[in-house]
Structure 1
Amino acid sequence: MNARENILKRLRERSDGPLQVPESDFSVVTGRDWTPQERVERFERLITSVHGEVIHATLTDWTARLEEVLKAKSVRRLALGREHPVPVAARAALMDHDVELVDVDRDIEDWKREQFETVDAGLTSTGGAIGETGSLWLWPTPDEPRLISLVPPIHIAVLDADAIEDTFFDVVEAHGWASGMPTNALLISGPSKTADIEQTLAYGVHGPRELVVLIRHPRESA
């Protein structure tokens, strides 16, 4: 019998009966009751405070805003998926533009140097965002692997305004993570940053130096 089995055996044979699940009070991590507009404003304030960039668009013109971002930042090679609606729409909009679209559904060993050395930006969808902390959350897939948000110098993330929730607890509850926890869920709260021993903050040392969030609103009034 190994150590693990010994521990489990002692737990099963407790003299005072089986362990009971303690009562939990989650009131401190939920129940903010912010309005949709308050969530957007809070998310933008927090993510821009750490050098994130937010661009507002609508569901109909967001690809035009994307084109403007790529031009302003001199992006010539953009890594993106091929199946999710976000990269599908981006590919259609950029078909006749001077931007090379780089397929990402390949084994990393086949294009590791290309990804680290010649890709200018990565475009991803998002699962949503957290208003309380100003964080995006992503659930990577083979179509949109995690490295396209972690390696290129610029990460462009597309976020629907109505997918911003109050707290991380609300995200976990709303999307049923307890019954299907993602193995590679990513929380992104700004560009990559680190600090040396003197607490001098530097951006882009271990990942993207720029984070651009395109927030898509359902109405032109956004």
Structure 2
Amino acid sequence: MDISKYIDYTLLEPTSTERNIIDLCYTAKRNSFYSVSVNSSYVALAKQLLNKTDVKVCSAIGFPLGSMATASKVYEAKQAISDGAEEIDMVINIGFLKSKNYVSVLKDISDVKLAIGKHPLKVTLEVSELNKNEIIKACEICLDANVDYIKTSSGFSKSGATLTVVKIIKKTIKDYVKICASGGIKDTETAKKYIDIGVSRISASSEFKIKQIV
């Protein structure tokens, strides 16, 4: 199994420098990772560095809290696409979800999806902040919004993906939406466990140790 093709190689820390982004892109290119995921301010640089490669550029927007105005997310998403992003990763408005303001959660996601057109949209749930019922409801809203991926975590909260949570998500969305597992996945053996239960992408940082599994 070529694990590399599942990897979104991610660097979203606020202290990330241009040198860090250069190193990120070089490593992604060397290992033929599926994509790099960067903050929107670095999309243009990443796109330039990965020109004429198969590595895609994903931009995180509304990161890491997801609590900014929908119009702000839409503007950031459009700008990221203009700068060369091929995918968008947004964080759900957790406060709206917990308030049971499901109409606003749906509008938040749908407006971004509409703004980016054909480009794939990942929606980060931040599962460590949600109970089981909230996770299920968030997945149902994502289905209504026609998102492309549901992502477990931003990497900035208490914890990341678990096999149990991914199974809950998979049971809810079936094969209608893909899953990106994120948070705490640091080696290929762990990544394979997630892939085996239906995950399509793995968000991994520089701590990830790549080793091919036969």
TM-score, normalising length: structure 1:
0.30
Question: Looking at CA atoms only, which structure, 1 or 2, has the larger radius of gyration?
Answer: 1
Q: Compare the two structures and name the one with the higher strand fraction.
A: 1
Higher RCO (Cα < 8 Å, 6 or more apart): 1
By percentage of residues, which structure has more helix? 2
